[in-house]
Amino acid sequence: MIAILDHIQALEAYLERAGARVVRTSLPECVHGRVFCDVISLRVGLRPEQELPALVHEVTHWLAHRHARPGPHCTLFEYEAEAVETLVMRRLGLQPAEYDPFGAGQDSPTDGLLPASVRRVLWASSRICGALGLESQAPVHFEAAAGKEVVFENE
């Protein structure tokens, strides 16, 4: 539990240095967090093991999506934030809550994402892991042609 609280504090310090802040406030029960401009709101009363993934999720939106215009790509942004949440929690050795509403059974949190999405996911998860003091992973290179599968190889 102490490690989780340390991770939360590390991310809050990172956000403060970057010009954002975290507040705890009333949100609907089904909403753990939200981001607006440079303020990340987390629902009051979350347990630390709920708060950390919610914070990672919202930091992803703040890092990767804050300058995007609202539109039909919002669903894509949710997939990206969930993928980053999964990658970061795995790097921390914490298993994220399994959520597979369509039974897709994908092996990787980036399966099915477009290459541009994968780049944003990897970039955001790298920034968050850096803020948590985790070693950076080897760069990932990928190439894909239209209609072809993206294959990842670590350097």
Q: pLDDT per residue over 105-122, tens digit each?
A: 556 666 666 666 778 888
- Cα 5 from Cα 120, distance rounded (Å): 26
Q: Which three-class secondary structure state does DSSP give residue 104?
A: coil
Q: Cα torsion at 93, 94, 97, 103 (round to 10°)?
A: 10
Q: pLDDT per residue over 122-149, tens digit each?
A: 888 888 989 998 875 555 444 444 444 4
Domain span holding position 122: 2-154
- Cα 150 from Cα 127, distance rounded (Å): 23
Number of domains in the chain: 1
Check pLDDT > 60 for residue 51. yes
Check pLDDT > 70 for residue 6. yes
Check pLDDT > 50 for residue 46. yes
